[in-house]
């Protein structure tokens, strides 16, 4: 069975990257990690290296976005990537980049889209008086935090929650959702997966 080569893009701790890579280490998985790439010196890079994964650092800072994305695109193609998972990746990709990888980029966003696109999702869910919060894995399009929903996981909001306690409750659900959705996506199943 030939496995789809998956690149994982990170900017931070890389906890979602680790769960995706651990799942792809299983022999029955339809995907394999082609590359872990970061746009800054992210702690997740060391985790990927410790797992024996190929890594690269492609800084975005101090150069035009087009140049950053050209370098990223080249690294992805050199690694033979076929699908890209954004996992705590905090740069907005240009419509041109997205068009080159159309239908082959997934993202995890820490809210129940289409609610709370963008940043500070936990604080905004609390401020809105939500009884539930959650995360979404979706296909990436030129519009920010938009695109087809491939899966969502839900957590309750508790009295006295802060953005930090809510984020802490949500992260383990992200780690359940993303690997489950990626497996289905690689098998051609894009029907939204609800984890309640």
Question: Residues 6 or more apart from 52 whose CB is under 8 A from it?
Answer: none
**For residues 177 and 154, is the Cβ–Cβ distance under 8 A?**
no
Query: Applying CB under 6 A, which part among 6-14, 126-134, 150-158, 188-196 lies near ligand GAR?
Result: 6-14
Strand partners, 193: 151
Among 31, 110, 139, 147, binds ligand GAR (CB under 6 A): 110
Q: Please tell me whether residue 139 binds ligand GAR under the rule CB under 6 A.
A: no
Total chain residues near ligand GAR (CB under 6 A): 17
| CA distance linking residue 135 with residue 54, whole number of Å | 28
Burial class (CB in 10 A: 0-12, 13-18, 19+), 3: middle
Residue 109 touching ligand GAR (CB under 6 A) = yes
147 lies in the binding site for ligand GAR (CB under 6 A) = no
With contacts defined by CB under 6 A, name the span among 48-56, 62-70, 108-116, 186-194 that binds ligand GAR. Answer: 108-116
State the catalytic residues: 109
- Shortest Cβ contact with ligand GAR: which residue? 88
Span of 30-38, 75-83, 85-93, 185-193 interacting with ligand GAR by CB under 6 A: 85-93
Residue number with CB closer to ligand GAR (80 or 134)? 134
149: Cβ contacts below 8 Å, ≥ 6 apart: 113, 136, 137, 138, 192
Judge if the upstream peptide bond of residue 134 is cis by omega within 30 degrees of 0. no
Residues 91 and 69: their CA atoms lie apart, in Å, by 10
Question: Which of 80/154 has CB closer to ligand GAR?
Answer: 154
Nearer to ligand GAR, 83 or 174 (CB): 174
Q: Does the protein bind ligand GAR through residue 12 (CB under 6 A)?
A: yes
Binder among 87, 137, 149, 166 for ligand GAR (CB under 6 A): 87
Q: Which residues bind ligand GAR (CB under 6 A)?
A: 10, 12-17, 44, 87-88, 90, 108-110, 135, 171, 174
């Amino acid at each position: 069975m030939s496995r789809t080569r998956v690149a994982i893009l990170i900017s931070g701790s890389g906890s979602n990257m680790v769960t995706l890579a651990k799942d792809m280490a299983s022999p029955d998985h339809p995907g394999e990690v082609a590359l872990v790439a970061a746009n800054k010196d992210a702690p997740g890079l060391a985790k990927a290296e410790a797992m024996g994964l190929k890594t690269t650092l492609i800084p975005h800072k101090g150069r035009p976005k087009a140049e950053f994305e050209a370098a990223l695109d080249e690294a992805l193609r050199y690694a033979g990537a076929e699908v890209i998972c954004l996992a705590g990746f905090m740069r907005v990709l240009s419509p041109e980049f997205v068009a080159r990888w159309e239908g082959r980029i997934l993202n995890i966003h820490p809210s129940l889209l289409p609610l709370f696109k963008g940043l500070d999702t936990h604080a905004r869910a609390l401020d809105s008086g939500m009884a539930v919060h959650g995360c979404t894995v979706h296909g990436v399009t030129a519009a920010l935090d938009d695109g087809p929903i491939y899966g969502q996981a839900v957590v309750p909001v508790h009295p006295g929650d802060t953005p930090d306690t809510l984020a802490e409750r949500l992260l383990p659900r992200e780690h359940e959702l993303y690997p489950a959705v990626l497996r289905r996506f690689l098998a051609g199943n894009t029907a939204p997966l609800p984890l309640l």
